[in-house]
Every structure is written in C-alpha cells, then in structure tokens.
Amino acid sequence: MNARSLIRILLMLSMLLPVVVRAADGPVVLYPPDLMFSTEGKVKVFIFSPDKSAPLGATINFKAIEGIEGDHFKKGEISLNPGLNFVEAGGKRLRLYYLPGAKMDRFILQGKKSDEPYIFRAAKIHPALDDGCDGCHTFEDGKLSSKPQKESCYACHTDYSKVEEGKQVFLHTPVAGGECTSCHDPHFSMLPKLQKSEKGCRECHDAFPEDGVVHKPVGYGDCISCHSPHAGPGPKQLIKPGNTLCATCHENPHRQHRSADAKGKLTKVPPDFPVDNSAGKPEMSCTGCHAPHQSAERRLFVKPQGQLCKTCHQL
C-alpha cells in the first residue's frame, strides 16, 4: 500500500471515528482551519475556551496539545508530522496536510474516482491574533462579543474617512459603514489580503455583459486598476479623478476633442455634455463619448459613432 492510499484511508476513517473531546459549547479552534496546507513543521494555534478553568481537551494526532496559554483566549504552537494531521477540539476534527519545503500554496489529494478531491490550501493569518483576541472581542457574563469594527480595525489600520483639509474622499459603502468584515475575514483566509470571497468585487457587484466591447481591465477582473476598494479621490472610489485616470493608460488621446471650447462654426457642445476639471482646466470628459466598462459599440462608444459625432458636430 502506497502513502497516498494510506492517507485516503485515514481521511475516510477520520469522518467515521467518534470525536472524544468536549461538547460543542467547549473550546473552539479559531486557527488553524480545516483542510489547511502547510510547508512549515510548526503552526500557530488559537483557541477560545468559554470556561477558562476547564480542561482544554484539544489534541493533535490524538495526543493532548500542550503549551497552550491564556485564559479564555488561548494560543500556542503545534508540531506537525509530514503528511496528514488531525486537530480535535470542541467536537470538531480539523485536517492539516504538511509537506516540508514545498513551493506551492495548495495540495490536492484525489480520493476514489467517484469522490470529490480533498483540496488543502495555505492560509494567511491575521497578525492581530498574535496581539490577543481581546483587541477585537470582549467576554463578559459568559458571552463573547465583538467590539465595533471601526474601533477594532482602525486601532491598527488606516481610517479612510480622515483626509487632509481641503481634499475630498469617496468611501466604499462598507468602509463608510465600518463593515470591514463584509470583505475581509478577521481571523484567517486562503486568499490575499484576508479576503472572504474568491469572487472579489463580484460578490456584491454584478458582472458586466461579456458581449460587445469590454474595457480590458474589466475583462481581466482587475477592478482595482481604476477603483480603490476602500476610498478614492474620485466618485465611485476612482484612484484618480476624471480624465486624469484615463490618461494613466491612454496618453494624449485625440487632443482636438479634449478642449471644452468649441472651435469652428460646425461645432456646438451641448450644455449638458460632461466636463472634467481634474487636469486643472476644463476638458470634455472621456465618459461623454466612451463607456468605462462595456459597450455594444466599437471603442466603447456610448452610442453608434454616427449619432455620437452629431452630438456636437452639426452637419
């Protein structure tokens, strides 16, 4: 029997074996998560225990975890064996896979052909856990509570609502509401920046139609090339205001159309045509002619080219 076959058997047995630990209202492992992949032999462990005087009852590979310190919020370190490891606490069994020195962030273990594969992923831990859970939580009268997110998060992270005098900032709605955990996990994540969802922005924002012409950053799902996820100097959290943003990639596009001053008798710019002042002087806004995300027309025109030209040019 090879090593992979043995590991598959252990995984199946792990789902059948009874968990001889405390009831569900006992200790809770905050970290590490189930199906975690590690390239290091030692892993931090954080456990919340409602009853600080009760035995912890947590095990690693069916042996008691030692060296875990703290009252209600306990932390320490566990040593892993190469291959599959089991952590048990609070009525739950967690599976960790350790592959020494591996240069990857996930490990796929295929079960039987009829079974879904087991996917072990590397996790990114929130550094705040090292400072203690009481930086974000309180435990009073037997109840675990979270402090207001603005109080907790802004103790370490930037308060985006505070800007220099004379400047304007546009906040992402969750940021304005102090709802950081709508996008970020407060403990750990398998994704960069402790993101909660692989969908990213599309967790809340609908995808644009894929037909017609799609602006390349949109097609790549690279929303943050134009929008800040937290706060920006332009509306809709644009990282730069108005035409200044477009000019970051599109240098000096058709200058004759950028002036807000009508030149010639056959040109008459409508009074409601978008005008931009981000470059320090009035210019026709790029969005007056081009859609920033997707369009049914070539070159992201907001309407068919013939109709668009007639907006200003009287023939």
pLDDT band at 126 (very low <50, low <70, confident <90, very high): very high
Instruction: Return the pLDDT at 96.
Output: 96
- Selected residue with higher pLDDT from 261 and 200: 200
Asked whether residue 165 is domain-assigned, the answer is yes
Number of domains in the chain: 3
If asked whether residues 166 and 222 sit together in one domain, one would say: no
Residues 58 and 114 in one domain: yes
Do the domain assignments include residue 142?
yes
Per-residue confidence (pLDDT) for residue 259, from 0 to 100: 62
**Do residue 14 and residue 118 come from a single domain?**
yes
151 and 182 inside one domain? yes
* 232: β partners: 170
Per-residue pLDDT, 20: 36
Residue 118 lies in a domain: yes
Q: Which of 99, 122, 145 is the last residue of a domain?
A: 122
Query: If pLDDT is split at 50, 70 and 90, which confidence band does 11 have?
Result: low
Domain carrying residue 154: 133-206
Same domain, 117 and 7: yes
Q: Please tell me what DSSP assigns to residue 279.
A: T
Give the three-state DSSP class for 102.
coil
62 and 109 fall within a common domain: yes
- Residue 16 is predicted with a pLDDT of 41
Residues 151 and 87 in one domain: no
77 φ, ψ to 5°?
A: -150, 140
What is the chain's alpha carbon radius of gyration, rounded to the nearest angstrom?
28
Asked whether the beta carbons of 95 and 32 are under 8 A apart, the reply is no
Instruction: Output 269 or 9, whichever has higher pLDDT.
Output: 269
- One domain, residues 198 and 95: no
137-151, 154-168, 193-207, 254-268: range with highest mean pLDDT: 193-207
CATH of the domain at 102: 2.60.40.10
Query: Dihedral angle at the C-alpha atoms of 300, 302, 307, 312, nearest 10 degrees?
Result: -100
Indicate the pTM of the whole model: 0.79
- pLDDT score for 73: 84
Quick one: pLDDT at residue 115? 76
Query: Is residue 18 domain-shared with residue 111, that is, in the same domain?
Result: yes
Sequence-distant (≥ 6) Cβ neighbours of residue 111 within 8 angstroms: 8, 11, 12, 117, 118
pLDDT digits (tens, 9 = 90+) for 57-115: 889 999 998 888 888 888 899 999 999 999 998 788 999 999 999 999 999 987 676 67
Is the residue at 25 inside a domain? yes
Residue 312: band (very low, low, confident or very high) from pLDDT cuts 50, 70, 90 = confident
